[in-house]
Amino acid sequence: MFKPSIIEDAIVKIDGTNELIGVATVTLPDIEHKKETISGLGVDEYEYVSSQSYNLLNLVIKFLGKHKGMKLKTGNKTVSLIIKGYIGGMDDATHDYDKQIITCSVKGKVFKRSGGELGRALKNESELSLTLTYYKEEIDGEVVVEIDKLNKITVIDGEDVAGEIKQALN
């Protein structure tokens, strides 16, 4: 079994190109189900967790330094990115070094630009924040998570959790 250790390297490219968008780290979105508090006569209060609806998916790209390559579409333009990482680790059966490749495909819109700090001998870590309508995470080509908010696609841990409801409503 693979035991992950560190991200050896990662890249962020504009989808469909080989254009890197700069030296950056990426904070991937939290996958958080929407929930609703249920209360009323004859019912103790509890929270209902939706299996189909998720809170906003936000992604943050932190750049090391300011540069012209930080330009991404803003406003009504959709940004489409591919994020790939090389995860180094160990195989616990053989004790040999091993690796996995994580690939994240995202589509969304830039909603915030943080300027970072300007000062003497500072790295100036500026940020772009995106709100996503599409997020897909694969490890070694196997889909782990896929959420397409516009096309009612929801795959969590490789399972199509939206399939039963889509089939019932067809």
Mean pLDDT of 138-153: 94
The pair phi, psi for residue 74, each rounded to 5°, is: -130, 175
* pLDDT for residue 88: 92
Tens-place pLDDT, residues 11-38: 888 888 887 777 678 999 999 999 999 9
For the chain, how many structural domains are there in total?
1
**Is the model's pLDDT at 67 over the cut of 70?**
no
Q: Which domain holds residue 70?
A: 2-140
145 inside domain: no
Q: How confident is the model at residue 70 (pLDDT cuts 50, 70, 90)?
A: low
pTM for the whole structure: 0.85
pLDDT tens track for 84-110 = 999 999 999 999 999 999 999 999 998
What would the mean pLDDT of 73-82 be, rounded to a whole number? 82
162 occurs within a structural domain? no
In the predicted structure, residue 43 carries a pLDDT above the cut 70: yes
Does the residue 153 lie in any domain? Answer: no
Question: Is the model's pLDDT at 69 over the cut of 70?
Answer: no
DSSP secondary structure string for all residues of 36-52: EEEEETTEEEEEEEEEE
Residue 30 falls inside a structural domain: yes
CATH of the domain at 44: 2.40.30
Classify residue 168: in a domain, yes or no: no
Contact 78, 14 (CB under 8 A): no
Tell me, what's the pLDDT at 77? 85
Alpha carbon separation from 58 to 67, 120, 134, 157, 164 (Å, rounded): 23, 31, 10, 19, 27
Q: Is residue 155 part of a domain?
A: no
